[in-house]
Structure 1
């Protein structure tokens, strides 16, 4: 088993590259099936968020994984080399633990990534691409993350993406309470934004979604209303603040739509935050006067607030990750022994069954029971000792000495006087 992580994140790649390699929820299952069909790939799990796309694999060769990803996105492998990191073995385990603990996130110590990892693990399990290695890795990663949360204060004073959205809005408008707010999407990130924005008591809070039912369910929890995405062109001019986070593969809000909206608003400013990867709002919208468009990368400065106070806690979390690496390596080493242990047990059971069957036949034929039991014990011992004794007799020189030492240790024999 060889653990390989291939990925990119907000540290190694700009938004334009991250959205190129992002996976939407609808394509994950099929992509996982294709990945495990790649040469030498035995297990796979894909994590795709606004800040990272990572492929966790049990594979013989990382090149096969990189080639598969480039081919899937119609790129040459060398086009992606400058953005991708490839980790193997212990470094791959450390990375998985750090990601689960929020140590590799744009918002140091944030908890949302743990839920995203659990979702990715569930998708891989449902797709049948999660095997012994990846299951063992992520069950331990989740346990480490839980301990870090309970034993450190790494998440204290952190500024979430949702909270940063409110802070930025207040740089454009005196107060969010004076604004009409539109949330596009109904997923976890939008719900987090709804929580923060609702606390500011905006004039109106509207959720736009592809299905009215799901949008209404979210909006009702925050005293808002729902609308359909198809109605955006007619209604987007009503809103001062627009926050979008969907799983759409194509932009939902285009430059033309916002040009018309600004004209109808008589050039009153609009604050927009696009938290989606791939982006929901065309990049050209940022060129428009009176539109203040921010992406996930633009929020980096705001979310780093409070970072200094969490650095000491992060050091404690890093130490916990390092300590737990040894446990995983021990488990992995134990897994490597499983086939040999199983074969040894099977060998012993075959000898036992064969000799027991012979003894039963002798007893049925009227043989002396005590003699049959003595023969049974002797035959089992002889047959089980035959292979190691033959190996000792056949070995010579240094090899024989090593075998002697090994046998004496295995059978706990006392050293000769």
Structure 2
């Protein structure tokens, strides 16, 4: 029997477009074009039914689109144009990987090495959801099941044995970490100015930390009401009402889309409602800064600025990047294990008919070749013979499988070293 070789992995392919070679807006447009509303299942199934792919796995995020599939066809521009309903410009930038390179890339994605934010664990969850969906649709068979499961194991190994996910690189998360250094009470009065995406994330952290007294002021009150819902003592205001706000605050988060500073000395003094500024914490997440420099100069308060948070985020990202080399070593080890696992699986597939063939040989021997001789035996002898044949059948079924596995798993002997001429003569 021929032992499978790594070349048998060459029918694995990946087509991908990522943040590395396209703008996020372009990726979003391609995702929309491919998914086509609720037509993703039908489109993927058509690719399989047309014989273009044998198995297929599809996943998309805000910064990548990825198609992992198996096929024996040549994956060239003609193949890609018939596979994907993308504009020509999108097709030319699609990155094509095959064999171990494709599998390595999948492991790098799962382990967040290839992410826009290195160490971002959410990507693994997104890949697992995509795998479950494609499996449910009947698009994933034995080949992609093995590879996708191994990708999950490789990612978990990376997260468990490197520090790639440590040290937050999210500005909002870092702002909350900085806030906790000052240990504000869970009963603290929290005032948010602005209700955009950044402050939406802030409210999620505040809920998780158990804060209840939250007031949100925004240009549109309806948006503020959406963000403040769920807080025990939540209140929504318009920005126009902010100058009349007299309930004070302990922590102020501010992040607006304004081109000029929102928190002027006059407004800040009004928001203090007669209280001392010394114990106040202000978290400014605006770009440009929402707290005027004149406000910082006039009042003495704890100021957490976005520039400091950005510098800290970049420092933490550098730390994560230094863990990438170790993560790559883990991936290489898993690639070796994947080759062995896949080779073993190919042998199991090839051996699936062996039990039936052995049973057929036994049946032929008993009922044709040695039928007359067996008829001459007494019942006890025939029963003994039947038990012996059953025993040998069961034992023989396992022998070739075990031998094949040992052939794959055992290390290859080193090539013998050639003797020198002097050694050969002696």
Secondary structure in 2 aligned to 1:159? coil
Structure 1 residue 158 displacement after superposition: 3.4
Asked if residue 21 in structure 1 is aligned to residue 21 in structure 2, the reply is: no
State the structure with more CA Rg.
2
Q: Show the 5 A alignment for 1:259-408.
A: 304-358=314-368, 362=372, 365-368=375-378
Do the aligned partners of residues 364 and 344 (structure 1) sit closer, same or farther apart at CA in structure 2, a change above 3 Å counting? Answer: closer
Where does residue 99 of structure 1 map in the other structure?
109
Do the aligned partners of residues 351 and 131 (structure 1) sit closer, same or farther apart at CA in structure 2, a change above 3 Å counting? Answer: same
Where does residue 387 of structure 1 map in the other structure?
none
Q: Does the aligned pair in 1 maintain the 2:214–2:231 contact within 8 Å? A: no
For the residues of structure 2 that align with 1:373 and 1:359, how far apart are their CA atoms? 18
Structure 1 residue 116 displacement after superposition: 0.7
For the residues of structure 1 that align with 2:320 and 2:95, how far apart are their CA atoms? 26
Asked if residue 11 in structure 1 is aligned to residue 10 in structure 2, the reply is: no
Secondary structure in 1 aligned to 2:351? helix
For the residues of structure 1 that align with 2:135 and 2:228, how far apart are their CA atoms? 28
Q: Does the aligned pair in 2 maintain the 1:29–1:123 contact within 8 Å? A: no
Identify the match of residue 48 of structure 2 among 30, 36, 43. 36
For the residues of structure 1 that align with 2:17 and 2:104, how far apart are their CA atoms? 16
Identify the match of residue 114 of structure 1 among 121, 124, 145. 124
Secondary structure in 2 aligned to 1:117? helix
For the residues of structure 1 that align with 2:42 and 2:96, how far apart are their CA atoms? 23
Structure 1 residue 122 displacement after superposition: 1.3
The TM-score normalised by the length of structure 1 is 0.59
Secondary structure in 1 aligned to 2:93? coil
Structure 1 residue 104 displacement after superposition: 0.4
Secondary structure in 1 aligned to 2:169? coil
Do the aligned partners of residues 313 and 127 (structure 1) sit closer, same or farther apart at CA in structure 2, a change above 3 Å counting? Answer: same
For the residues of structure 2 that align with 1:96 and 1:222, how far apart are their CA atoms? 44
For the residues of structure 1 that align with 2:27 and 2:312, how far apart are their CA atoms? 21
Asked if residue 180 in structure 1 is aligned to residue 194 in structure 2, the reply is: yes
The TM-score normalised by the length of structure 2 is 0.58
Structure 1 residue 83 displacement after superposition: 1.8
Secondary structure in 1 aligned to 2:230? helix
For the residues of structure 2 that align with 1:324 and 1:69, how far apart are their CA atoms? 30
Structure 1 residue 311 displacement after superposition: 2.8
Structure 1 residue 81 displacement after superposition: 4.2
For the residues of structure 1 that align with 2:241 and 2:42, how far apart are their CA atoms? 40
Asked if residue 46 in structure 1 is aligned to residue 55 in structure 2, the reply is: no
Do the aligned partners of residues 33 and 371 (structure 1) sit closer, same or farther apart at CA in structure 2, a change above 3 Å counting? Answer: closer
Do the aligned partners of residues 107 and 221 (structure 1) sit closer, same or farther apart at CA in structure 2, a change above 3 Å counting? Answer: farther
Secondary structure in 2 aligned to 1:47? strand
For the residues of structure 1 that align with 2:72 and 2:166, how far apart are their CA atoms? 41
Where does residue 158 of structure 2 map in the other structure?
148
Structure 1 residue 238 displacement after superposition: 9.9
Do the aligned partners of residues 165 and 238 (structure 1) sit closer, same or farther apart at CA in structure 2, a change above 3 Å counting? Answer: farther
Asked if residue 67 in structure 1 is aligned to residue 81 in structure 2, the reply is: yes
Identify the match of residue 56 of structure 1 among 68, 72, 75. 68
Do the aligned partners of residues 326 and 205 (structure 1) sit closer, same or farther apart at CA in structure 2, a change above 3 Å counting? Answer: farther
Structure 1 residue 20 displacement after superposition: 2.0
Q: Does the aligned pair in 2 maintain the 1:181–1:202 contact within 8 Å? A: no
Secondary structure in 2 aligned to 1:328? helix
Q: Does the aligned pair in 1 maintain the 2:14–2:98 contact within 8 Å? A: yes
Count of residues paired in the alignment = 305
Structure 1 residue 269 displacement after superposition: 7.6
For the residues of structure 2 that align with 1:269 and 1:65, how far apart are their CA atoms? 54
Q: Does the aligned pair in 1 maintain the 2:216–2:228 contact within 8 Å? A: no
Secondary structure in 2 aligned to 1:329? helix
Q: Does the aligned pair in 2 maintain the 1:148–1:320 contact within 8 Å? A: yes
For the residues of structure 1 that align with 2:128 and 2:239, how far apart are their CA atoms? 35
Structure 1 residue 145 displacement after superposition: 1.2
Q: Does the aligned pair in 2 maintain the 1:3–1:56 contact within 8 Å? A: yes
Q: List per-residue Cα deviations over 1:188-245 (Å, max 9, x = no partner).
A: xx98564247679874189x9xxx9xx979942697689xxxxxxxx99999857xxx
Q: Does the aligned pair in 2 maintain the 1:107–1:158 contact within 8 Å? A: no
Q: Does the aligned pair in 2 maintain the 1:35–1:68 contact within 8 Å? A: no
Structure 1 residue 357 displacement after superposition: 3.8
For the residues of structure 1 that align with 2:64 and 2:241, how far apart are their CA atoms? 33
Do the aligned partners of residues 349 and 218 (structure 1) sit closer, same or farther apart at CA in structure 2, a change above 3 Å counting? Answer: farther
